[in-house]
Amino acid sequence: MFVLRILSFLLGYVTMVVRGEALERFINMATSRGIRFWDIRRIGPDEILIRTRVTGVKPLRHIARRTGSRFHVSERIGLPFLLYRLRRRKMMTLGAVLFLFALYYLSSFVWFVEVDGNTVIKRQEIISIAREAGLYPGASKWRVEVGEVEQQLKDELPRIAWVGIEVRGTRANISVAEKKLMTDDDDSPSNIIAAKAGLVKEVLVLSGQAVVREGDTVLPGQLLITGEIWPQAILEGDNPILDLQPRYVRSRGIVRARVWYEEYGEVPLNEEIRGLTGREERQTAVRVMGRTIVVAGARKSPFKDFDQDVDTARQLGWRNFTVPVEVITTTFREAKTTVERRNRAEALQLAEERAVQSLTEGLSEDVKNLNRRVEVVRTGKSEDLVRVKVILETLEDIGKEKHFN
Amino acid sequence: MAWNEIRRKARRAVADIFEIPGEVALDLPKIILLGNVQVFIENHRGIVEYTGEVVRVVLPSGEVSVRGRDLVLRNIQKDEICVEGEIEGLSFA
Using alpha carbons only, what angle is made at residue A318 by residues A314 and A319, rounded to the nearest 5 degrees?
A: 120
User: What burial class does residue A296 get, using C-beta atoms within 10 Å of its C-beta: 0-12 exposed, 13-18 middle, 19+ buried?
Assistant: exposed
- Is there a single domain that holds both residue A31 and residue A79? yes
At A48 the pLDDT is 92
End residue of a domain, out of A340, A358, A388: A340
- Is there a single domain that holds both residue A331 and residue A366? no
Flag whether residue A36 sits within 8 Å of chain B, measured between CB atoms.
Answer: yes
At A238 the pLDDT is 60
Residue A312 is assigned to a structural domain of this protein: yes
- Is there a single domain that holds both residue A167 and residue A235? no
pLDDT in tens, B44-69: 888 999 988 999 999 888 899 999 99
- CA dist B16 to A8, A129, A360, B22, B24, Å? 41, 87, 87, 9, 12
**DSSP-derived secondary structure letter, A36:** -
Residue A100 is assigned to a structural domain of this protein: no
CA–CA distance, B66 with A290 (Å, rounded to integer): 62
Q: Which residues sit opposite A356 in a β-bridge?
A: none
Asked if A31 lies within 8 A of B71 by C-beta distance, the reply is: no
Residue A143 is assigned to a structural domain of this protein: yes
Pick out chain A residues at pLDDT < 50: none
At B1 the pLDDT is 55
Domain ranges in chain B are 2-92
CA–CA distance, A66 with A51 (Å, rounded to integer): 20
At A306 the pLDDT is 85
At A365 the pLDDT is 72
Alpha-carbon torsion, ordered A266, A268, A274, A278, to 10 deg: 90
Pairing outcome for strands B63-76 and B54-58: antiparallel
**DSSP-derived secondary structure letter, B80:** E
How close is the nearest chain B Cα to the Cα of A107, in Å? 45
Would you mind telling me the total number of residues written for chain A in this entry? 405
At A332 the pLDDT is 87
- Is there a single domain that holds both residue A230 and residue A276? no
Share of chain B above pLDDT 90, in %: 45
- Is there a single domain that holds both residue A331 and residue A309? yes
- Is there a single domain that holds both residue A75 and residue A6? yes
Asked if B46 lies within 8 A of A28 by C-beta distance, the reply is: yes
pLDDT in tens, A331-379: 888 888 888 888 888 888 888 888 888 888 877 777 777 778 888 877 7
Q: Is the pLDDT of residue B22 over 70?
A: no
**Run of H or E residues at A321:** strand A321-322
Number of domains in chain A: 5
Domain extent, residue A70, equals 2-83
Asked if A24 lies within 8 A of B76 by C-beta distance, the reply is: no
Residue A402 is assigned to a structural domain of this protein: no
- Is there a single domain that holds both residue A352 and residue A334? no
At A92 the pLDDT is 84
Q: Which residues of A touch B78 (CB under 8 A)?
A: 31-32, 34
For the domain made up of B2-92, give the CATH fold. Immunoglobulin-like (2.60.40)
Asked if A42 lies within 8 A of B51 by C-beta distance, the reply is: yes
Nearest of A202, A200, A208 to residue A225 by alpha carbon: A208
Q: How confident is the model at residue B32 (pLDDT cuts 50, 70, 90)?
A: very high
User: What burial class does residue A213 get, using C-beta atoms within 10 Å of its C-beta: 0-12 exposed, 13-18 middle, 19+ buried?
Assistant: exposed
At B33 the pLDDT is 93
- Is there a single domain that holds both residue A163 and residue A226? no
Q: Does residue B45 contact residue B29 with C-beta atoms inside 8 Å?
A: no
| A144-150 contact pairs (CB < 8 A, 24+) | A144/A110, A144/A172
- CA dist A403 to A174, A187, A222, Å? 41, 9, 14
- Is there a single domain that holds both residue A298 and residue A316? yes
CA–CA distance, B27 with A251 (Å, rounded to integer): 108
**ipTM of the prediction:** 0.77
At A320 the pLDDT is 65
Pairing outcome for strands A306-312 and A385-397: unpaired
Residue A95 is assigned to a structural domain of this protein: no
Flag whether residue A237 sits within 8 Å of chain B, measured between CB atoms.
Answer: no
Asked if B76 lies within 8 A of A42 by C-beta distance, the reply is: no
pLDDT in tens, A168-184: 888 899 999 988 876 66
Residue A98 is assigned to a structural domain of this protein: no
- Is there a single domain that holds both residue A31 and residue A10? yes
Residue A103 is assigned to a structural domain of this protein: no
Nearest of B21, B26, B25, B84 to residue B50 by alpha carbon: B84
- Is there a single domain that holds both residue A72 and residue A14? yes
CATH number assigned to the domain comprising residue A43 = 3.30.70.260
Alpha carbons within 13 angstroms on the beta-carbon side of residue A403 total 7
Asked if B47 lies within 8 A of A28 by C-beta distance, the reply is: yes
CA–CA distance, A323 with A317 (Å, rounded to integer): 6
Q: Which of A24, A32, A39 sits opposite B50 (nearest CB)?
A: A24
- Is there a single domain that holds both residue A332 and residue A298? yes
